[in-house]
A and B are shown apart, each in its own frame.
Chain A
Amino acid sequence: MSSRTLVFIVPLVVIAFFWLMARWESRHVKDASKKGYFERNGKVLGIAFILLVAFWTVFLVALPYLYMVVESFHPKLPPMERGGPNDYLTLQQYGSFFVSPADGETNWLHMSTFFFSILISIIVTAINFTICYPLAYYMAQAGSAQKVRLILLGLIVPYWVNEILRAFALRLMLATKGLINNILVAAGLINTPIDFLGDNVGLYVGLSYAYLLVMMFPLYNAIESLDKNQIEAARDLGAPWWRIHKDVVIPHAKPGIASGCTMVFMFSAGALAAPQFLGGTRTLWFTSVIYNFFFQAFNWPRGSAYSFILLAACIALVMLMLRLFKVSLGETIR
């Protein structure tokens, strides 16, 4: 049985495992309040729910993901040769990240692109947080319900414009013939247009801009849940404003901060539009590298391997950050 077909067994095994455990437990621990699943939902609805959920978790989430991981351990083959003798498990795709298969040299290009993308994503997350925090605080603590709703609408409307158009708009402003350069030249402040895009300024601005909303909501929710009286109490005791934030607000809002930062980081690291349209010609973003493997080189296994590397690194980083700030994963999804 090929490794590919093996993938289909995994979800079945997991489900069977839990189902058996549940049956064993219900037989040995008698609890009056535990009504059976089909007793609670009726037969028709009960089956419908199970089918819908199984379809989603198994066929739309688990299997495609597992399948991609398996694919990353195979060499690139034309359709004819798949399943044949040349189709064997291999680490060559992962190896190609470190040593370029074309010339046997260390793959500095891809590795540096990778680290660059991660580093920039971290910086972008920090910038994003700094920008969003004051407004989130103001909305959560100071505004009336109506004002808050208006501000929220004001935040959401720009994001209804598609991310590509937003990147396009930023490009209009930052291009050598764009608005900002036109104004600067016309005002006599500079003589030649500044190459914002080529110097990656466009990329940073674009990425910070793109995910403000994603940071704003969890942050707002977390700060909003803080009892206003605590802030009053701290102020009453004589704490200066920065201490109030450091000692009262931020510790309380930690899950929201963690949630927002996680989302922004992952969106940035996995961004496609901003690097494609705002990056200079010299900019290479890791996701673009993956994109090229797919659409230019048609090397799906290698693209999968790189995808997995990206995902693993992101998750590792996020887990590290959560551990560092002592927040559990369950708290962040609130």
Chain B
Amino acid sequence: MKSKHAMKIMLGFYMLLFFGYLFGPIIVMALTAFNTPDYPQAYPYEGFTLNWFVKLWNDSAMMDGLQNSIVIGMCVVAISVPVGLAAAIIMTQIYHRARGLFYLVTISPLLTPGVIIGISTVIFWKDVMSVTDVTKAVFYRGMVLAVLGQASFISAYVLLIFMARLTRFDRAQEEAALDLGASHPQVFWHILVPFLKPAIVSAVVIAFLSSFENYNTTTFAILADRTLVTVLAGQVRQGTTPALSALAVCIIGLSLFGAITYEVLKRREQRQADRAQQLAKMAERSEVAA
């Protein structure tokens, strides 16, 4: 089958190009982090150094931004995960004629350019918070607005995650628990939430990461404060140093670590499920024989 062979070669070539395109700039940037020149340079190579990592650590603006990003991320998680879960549950129970509009409203932040979300957040909340001087002083700050702006679309991500998980939920379990005497809150906490646990973990991780790396919305909403990303943007605009490459290397390192951890956990989960299946099969066999 000559054409099949040709296909395979083309596929291999394509994959090479694809992942080259994907990883190329990253690898290049990573290389510049270890190269001595002041200007990020991968070629020609002039000498190995770890200086840029030190400079990164000492950059107070970056560190301040990093701290703010983490705080904002945690707040966004705290808001969007419960909101997304509530919305997913209500989606299944809402009055059927209202469901279409409800769905549209909840999904719309995903389709709205981040820029517009940022702008509308600032315009709206500025007026609302300026109702009294006290509220203005306390609430009208970049960190708060960034949380509110990000929460609007990150809740939509969370909603989709929970909706996907909920479709696989066996309603009979809910009924079984009620039948055995559980109250509705008990059914929620004992049966539904444990079932949703994988989705909750995904939602928390995705919400945090989405919040952390957000630029378009945060740029507008952050006012006088700063996040790691806005500091980064400022520095890239002004002039580039390999310290930024060093930052990229750190992020890549963390992501790789996260990816490896995820893979290990997934493999372990698979092994456990296989083992349980084996035991069940053995039980079946011995039962029939009896």
Contact = CB atoms under 8 A, between A and B. Distances in A.
A and B bound? yes
B102 interface: yes
B172 to A, nearest CB: 15
Contacts of B11: 134, 138
A314 B262 CA distance: 37
Contacts of A314: 111, 113
B48 interface: no
B115 A272 contact: yes
Contacts of B97: 18, 21-22, 25
Interface stretch (B55-63, B117-125, B195-203): B117-125
A266 to B, nearest CB: 6
A182 B44 contact: yes
A209 B254 CA distance: 22
Interface string A297-317: 000100110010011001100
The interface residues of chain A, by DSSP majority, are classed as helix
Contacts of A276: 233, 237
Interface string B210-236: 000101100110000000010011001
Interface string B164-191: 0000000000000000000111001000
Interface string B89-105: 11001010110011101
A277 interface: yes
Nearest to A42: B184
Contact of A168 (B108, B244, B262): B244
Contacts of B90: 49-50, 53
B107 to A, nearest CB: 6
B232 A311 contact: no
Contacts of B9: none
Given A40-B93, A134-B11, A269 B113 contact: yes
Interface in A85-126: none
Interface in A23-69: 25, 37, 40-42, 44-45, 48-50, 52-53, 55-57, 60-65, 67-68
A321 interface: no
B9 to A, nearest CB: 13
Nearest to A290: B115
B232 A68 contact: no
B256 interface: yes
Nearest to A56: B83
Given A52-B82, A270-B116, A164 B236 contact: yes
Contact of B106 (A61, A169, A241, A304): A61
B219 to A, nearest CB: 7
Contacts of A166: 25-26
Nearest to A23: B95
B127 interface: yes
B264 to A, nearest CB: 12
A107 B121 CA distance: 28
Contact of A64 (B87, B124, B216): B124
B26 A333 contact: no
B252 A161 contact: yes
A1 interface: no
A162 B213 contact: yes
A241 B113 contact: no
A40 B120 CA distance: 36
B28 A172 contact: yes
Contact of B216 (A156, A161, A165, A272): A272
B120 A68 contact: yes
Contacts of A153: 259, 262-263
Contact of A60 (B18, B86, B93, B155): B155
B227 to A, nearest CB: 11
Interface stretch (B35-43, B271-279, B280-288): B35-43
Given A168-B240, A173-B28, A183-B43, 5 more contacts: A25-B95, A60-B109, A172-B240, A270-B114, A273-B233
Interface of B: 3, 7, 11, 14-15, 18-19, 21-26, 28-29, 32, 39-44, 82-83, 86-87, 89-90, 93, 95, 97-98, 101-103, 105-117, 119-121, 123-125, 127, 148, 151-152, 155, 160, 183-185, 188, 209, 213, 215-216, 219-220, 229, 232-233, 236-237, 240, 244-245, 247-248, 251-252, 254-256, 258-259, 262-263, 266
